[in-house]
Amino acid sequence: MEIRPILVLIGLLAAAAAGAEAAYTWTDEDGIVHYSDRPEPGATEINLVGDKPASQSAPARRPAATTGASDNEGSEPAGPFKYDSLEIVSPGAEQTLWNIEGTLNVTLALTPALQPGHQVRVYFDGTPQTVNTTSFQLDEVWRGVHNLQAEVIDETGKLMIRSQPNRFYVQQNTINR
């Protein structure tokens, strides 16, 4: 085995990592958070390298100022609520599940937690279903290729955040008779 191609590959990976010192984040009009290595209008820079000055990193969130005598009285709302992330944890992307007997356990990671009045809408193979939790079961999930996507909607039905689509596979052992 030649060592030269391996060294060239390591050098290319190191050069790519050194060039990727910044990333950008922004939230679109639907409340979906995006990340990119290219700046977009209204995007905030995220520091990926720890040796840059703190002034170049993303600004910290500050609590809303209050005008009343106590923190609970006379405070103005901080603005519309936004979720930071939504991810399908289980089943994993491109995962193959064996012998699940038609019942699929789904787990979502949502930050911050699901707010009162908000619901999770799950699209299983394009068919929507609404649930009130981030851990639930779907029935009648049989052998084959399946797609799963989740989104959080508020009490008015407005989309708050949407996960990336997740493709997974279900296999079933066959018994020769």
pTM of the predicted model, to two decimals?
Answer: 0.55
Both structure tokens of 9: 């590959």
Tokens of 46: 């995220």
Please state which of the four CATH numbers 3.30.70.100, 2.40.10.120, 2.60.40.10, 1.20.140.10 is assigned to the domain occupying 85-171. 2.60.40.10
Q: Of all helices (H) and strands (E), which one includes residue 17?
A: helix 4-19
User: In this predicted structure, what is the pLDDT of residue 81?
Assistant: 87
Instruction: List, for residues 74-123, the tens digit of each pLDDT value.
Output: 455 566 889 999 999 999 999 999 999 999 999 999 999 999 999 999 99
- Per domain, the residue ranges of the chain are 21-52, 85-171
Mean pLDDT, range 18-43, rounded to an integer: 73
Q: How far apart are CA 25 and CA 30, in angstroms?
A: 15
| DSSP conformation letters of 104-141 | EEEEEEEESPPPTT-EEEEEETTEEEEESSSEEEEEEE
Average pLDDT of span 156-161: 93
Strands (E), 2-83: 22-27, 33-36, 44-47
